[in-house]
Amino acid sequence: MSILVTGGAGYIGSHTCVELLNAGHEIVVVDNFSNSKPESLKRITELTKKEYKFYEVDLLDKKALETVFCENQIEAVIHFAGLKAVGESVEIPLHYYYNNITGTLILCEVMKKYDVKKMVFSSSATVYGFPKHVPITEDFPLAATNPYGRTKLMIEEILKDLHSSDNNWGIALLRYFNPIGAHESGRIGEDPNGIPNNLMPYINQVAIGKLDKLNVFGSDYDTHDGTGVRDYIHVVDLAKGHLKALEKIISTTGIDAFNLGTGVGYSVLDVIKNFEHVTSQRIAYSFTHRRSGDIDKCYADTTKAMKELGWKATKNLEDMCRDSWRWQRSNPKGYEEETFK
């Protein structure tokens, strides 16, 4: 029996594939490379010394997806495939709704047809909208502030309806906080297209000299130093959370949401200082206006994941900065070309 990983060539997917293979799972990966490169798949094999099946398939192509289920004995699906850039989702909302929602609907239909009723879904802390206070527990009211967030919220609702219609489904909705860092080998990591939107890849590109300076969005937030506070979580810890969620859904039915974060909030300035400390690189920055839609503080209460999944993040901000930089330094152009070691 195999675990199907949709979007397995991407940032979080590739790290999860490594953990799955290392734990002895057989996996089948599908990806359309809309936001990733085939090189990441080679490196999964390089790191694990294990082979696995890959299909270059778009989830929107139902026939091709059926072939994957027909040719493999799929036990459960970890569903990462989706578009994730908030700003882009405002520019091209229909494309986001179509790709993320229709892609998930088609996946669910095919799963149902092949009697595969176990899914771990990549949701996001974005479904909490503007939380009234922190830390955030899973029972907070849900809201979305942009089309990307709405796709996550709508998919959560669709999966809840699916479970209500047939309670043989076992589904985990994993609400990630801010994934950063990279595999400690430096061989896989985050490889954003163009100028990064997110803090850590931006800092990395300033450190490597690709970008001149970081713009810190806002200095007057209600936080300890005025800059935005987030719950950064190491991508390898996050990947391990998927294995715990998988164990749970394989042995039970039901649908449940879990926060995956560390439970600790760090400001933008905390991250810069930490990065500078562990890498000895100076990060030039200046303050600019707030970014529209940003909130002051966002961090998780992780009690539920600890109690019900037996999962807890183990890596700290220093590990995250060190591993992000190791990946960036040894792959200055990401997966684009052969790297120096």
Q: Is the distance from CB of 127 to CB of 149 less than 8 angstroms?
A: yes
- Three-state secondary-structure class, residue 135: coil
Q: Among all residues, whose Cβ is closest to ligand NAD? A: 10
**Interface with ligand NAD, residue 13, by CB under 6 A:** yes
Cα-based distances in Å from 39 to 42, 81, 84, 215, 236: 5, 17, 21, 31, 19
Q: Beta-carbon neighbour count of residue 12 at 10 Å? A: 21
Please report the sign of the dihedral spanned by the C-alpha atoms of residue 182, residue 226, residue 176, residue 7.
Answer: negative
Between residues 98 and 287, which has the closer beta carbon with respect to ligand NAD?
98
Tell me the sheet residues that pair with 215.
286
Our CB check for ligand NAD shows the closer of 5 and 116 to be: 5
Closest CA to 80 of 150, 29, 41: 29
Q: Are 298 and 221 in contact (CB under 8 A)?
A: no
Asked if 230 touches ligand UFG (CB under 6 A), the answer is yes
Q: Which of 11, 52, 96, 148 is catalytic?
A: 148
H-run or E-run covering 164: helix 147-165
**Which partner from the list ligand NAD, ligand UFG, none does 122 bind, CB cut-off 5 to 8 Å by kind?**
ligand NAD
By the rule CB under 6 A, 228 interacts with ligand NAD: no
Dist. CA 207–CA 204, nearest whole Å: 5
The β-bridge partners of 74 are: 2
268 contacts ligand UFG (rule: CB under 6 A): yes
Residue ranges in 154-213 that form contacts with ligand UFG under rule CB under 6 A: 176-178, 197-199, 202
Q: Is 262 in the site for ligand UFG (CB under 6 A)?
A: no
Query: Under rule CB under 6 A, which residues in 144-183 are in contact with ligand NAD?
Result: 176, 179
Which of 2, 20, 32, 159: binder of ligand NAD (CB under 6 A)? 32
CA distance 40 to 188: 6
For ligand UFG, the binding residue among 40, 89, 126, 328 (CB under 6 A) is 126
* 7 binding ligand NAD? (CB under 6 A): yes
| Closest CB 254 distance from ligand NAD, rounded Å | 22
User: How many residues are there in the chain?
Assistant: 341
- The question of whether 285 is a catalytic residue gets the answer no
- Nearest approach, Cβ of 171 to ligand UFG (angstroms)? 19
Cα(80)–Cα(102) distance, integer angstroms: 14
Distance separating alpha carbons of residues 229 and 297, to the nearest angstrom: 5
Closest residue to ligand UFG, based on beta-carbon distance? 228
Task: Among 291, 307, 314, 336, indicate the residue that binds ligand UFG (CB under 6 A).
Answer: 291
Q: Which does 82 bind (CB under 5 to 8 A by kind): ligand NAD, ligand UFG, none?
A: ligand NAD
Catalytic residues: 148
Q: Contact residues for ligand NAD (CB under 6 A)?
A: 7, 9-13, 30-36, 58-60, 80-84, 99, 103, 122, 124, 176, 179
